[in-house]
Amino acid sequence: MKQDGTGLLYSTYIGGLGTAWANAIAVDPADNAYITGGFSSGYPTTAGAYTSGSTGSYSAFITKLTAVGDSLGYSAIVGGYTSTPDEGKGIAVNAAGEVFVTGVVNSFSYPMPVTRFPATTGQTTFGGGSTDGFALKMTSDGSGLGWSTFLGGGGLDQARVLLWTPAATLHQRLDRIEQLSDRRRWFSDYVGGGTDAWLSS
């Protein structure tokens, strides 16, 4: 959309053979668009882009669309096979073109570079329950993960919104039912009820 709202710069479809949906979008200073969401099957990928251990059914996607909307900068897949898709919920991009994504994972096959995450700095195992949140950093060319971590406990946890700041801090809004596995400088304990919101930085 033009900055004055008077018309479209471009409009395009993107999707696979099954169901696909976008949950969040970010734009870099060069007007490249970065999209994340989920899909059921056949989502388009690009040569050299990251794909985690499967053909990608029921997975999250991270796609970079060029500034004029006529081609893909890259299109990557994160996740594994479950009856309910893993999906990206929030996305941000820094000045170097590195992408940060947060979302929900239903699969035990979610990629986790354990050597990058000692137990004191990252959650390297699925917390249990129905879902966990996740957060990741993708390289600027989309070929790999800089890091990746679960965010969740023994219930239904989802990470939904992400904000990247120039101080290189990620802030995430998440919904949860169970206690988090890693809590530091905690404002309040979980007091019960159906769900609480939580913030992670």
The phi and psi torsions of 7 (rounded to 5 degrees) equal: 180, 175
The pLDDT tens digits for 115-157 are 222 223 477 676 777 777 888 889 999 999 888 888 777 777 6
The pLDDT of residue 110 is: 57
The pLDDT of residue 83 is: 62
Token pair of 1 as six digits: 């959309």
CA angle 60, 157, 24 (to 5 degrees): 40
Q: Quick check: 48 pLDDT over 90? A: yes
Contact assessment for residue 162 and residue 100, using Cβ atoms and an 8 Å cutoff: yes
The pLDDT of residue 124 is: 63
Query: Of 32-36, 39-43, 87-91, 159-163, which gets the smallest average pLDDT?
Result: 159-163
Of all residues in the chain, the percent with pLDDT exceeding 90 is 31
Q: What is the DSSP letter of 49?
A: -
Cα separations (Å) of 2 from 6, 9, 20, 32, 52?
A: 6, 6, 26, 14, 36
The pLDDT of residue 178 is: 45
**CA gap 189, 40 in Å, rounded:** 36
Binned at pLDDT 50, 70 and 90, residue 166 comes out as low
Task: State mean pLDDT over 76-103.
Answer: 84
What is this structure's pTM? 0.81
Query: Of 25-29, 102-106, 174-178, which gets the smallest average pLDDT?
Result: 174-178
Question: What's the one-letter identity of residue 69?
Answer: G
Q: Quick check: 168 pLDDT over 60? A: no
Alpha helices in 13-167 (DSSP H): none
The pLDDT of residue 100 is: 92
Rounded to the nearest integer, the mean pLDDT of the chain is 76
Calculate the CA 179 to chain-centre distance.
21
Q: Quick check: 165 pLDDT over 60? A: yes
